[in-house]
Amino acid sequence: MPLSANGFDAWIVVGDDEAEFYAPELLEEPSGYTSWIASELGKEFSIHWRNTDVFCQTVGRVWVDGIECSGEILLGPNMSTRVSGRRTTGSALSPFLFSTINFTDDDDFVDITSSRDIGLIKLELWTINMTGTKPFTDNAPVAESKVHERSKKGVAHQTKFGEPVQGNMRSAAIVEYLETFPIVTFTFKYRSLDILQANGIAPASVRPAKRKSGTVKLEEMALSKRLKREPLSVGRNGKSSEVIDLTRDSNSPPATAEVIDLT
């Protein structure tokens, strides 16, 4: 069932099934949750979230294996959305796919920072004001990550970006960030089920199974009064959500105004 914090629910779907969370941990800094999930070789996956209690526009920023991929804008509460891949053009999306890890013995890859993030899925939720749109800027394909055989022990899977799937043409948005930090961050650490079981994270009796959607009622953190504002005005033709592809460095705070790509 989804994890719940600061007015948002978040969960992962692998194939057609909602992933089981193992050892979820509530965090204060950054505010949110971290949890383990079981990756399944060859299956596609997607990151889902729902705004349950934040009365303003928000954007979800998604990183997979250290690569900032996509996101979506929600215009207010009682709305949900998902990210299922990395957008390469305004109409094409490369789906997330669990694959075997690409090991190398090339010593140039020993200290590559990105390899440390393999096995991590991160979702950040930010408050924003969307002020306009622009044409989508195409993104170059991402080369498959390589990991030095000495760098990442206990990891069997990584994420591969599948062949692009064509869909509806989308635009880009111009947004202003209302805060200098996300209101909540969800971090999902994925490993194969046998590795999770071998390390005592998942019970030995667990087998992948279909699960109904719901909400894990874990400890809620207080939302600031600033988040309890009235919803920002939206035109009559405004959509309930907008997908985005973001390229800003994850370690730097967002600028006051920024152009982001809406899928």
Q: How many domains does the chain have?
A: 1
> Cα-atom radius of gyration of the chain, to the nearest Å?
18
Q: What is the pLDDT of residues 7-46, one digit of tens each?
A: 999 999 999 999 999 999 999 877 999 999 999 999 999 9
Q: What is the CA 104 to chain-centroid distance, rounded?
A: 27
The model's pTM: 0.78
CA dihedral of residues 107, 108, 110, 114 (deg, nearest 10):
-150
pLDDT, mean of residues 197-220: 65
The residues with which 44 forms a beta bridge, in sequence order, are: 97
Nearest Cα residue to 61 out of 173, 159, 164: 173
Higher pLDDT, 123 or 132: 123
Q: Residue 259 region, left (φ>0) first, then alpha (ψ -120 to 50), else beta?
A: beta
pLDDT at 227 over 50: no
Residue 21: partners with Cβ closer than 8 Å, 6 or more residues away: 1, 3, 35, 36, 37, 216
Q: Which of 24-33, 146-155, 184-193, 236-245 has the highest mean pLDDT?
A: 184-193
pLDDT digits (tens, 9 = 90+) for 105-114: 655 555 554 5
Task: Compute the Cα dihedral for 54, 59, 60, 66 and give only its sign.
Answer: negative
Output the CA–CA distances (angstroms, integers) from residue 93 to 71, 84, 198, in the order listed.
12, 8, 35
Q: What range does the domain containing 89 cover?
A: 3-262
Q: 59: which 2 tokens?
A: 């954007």
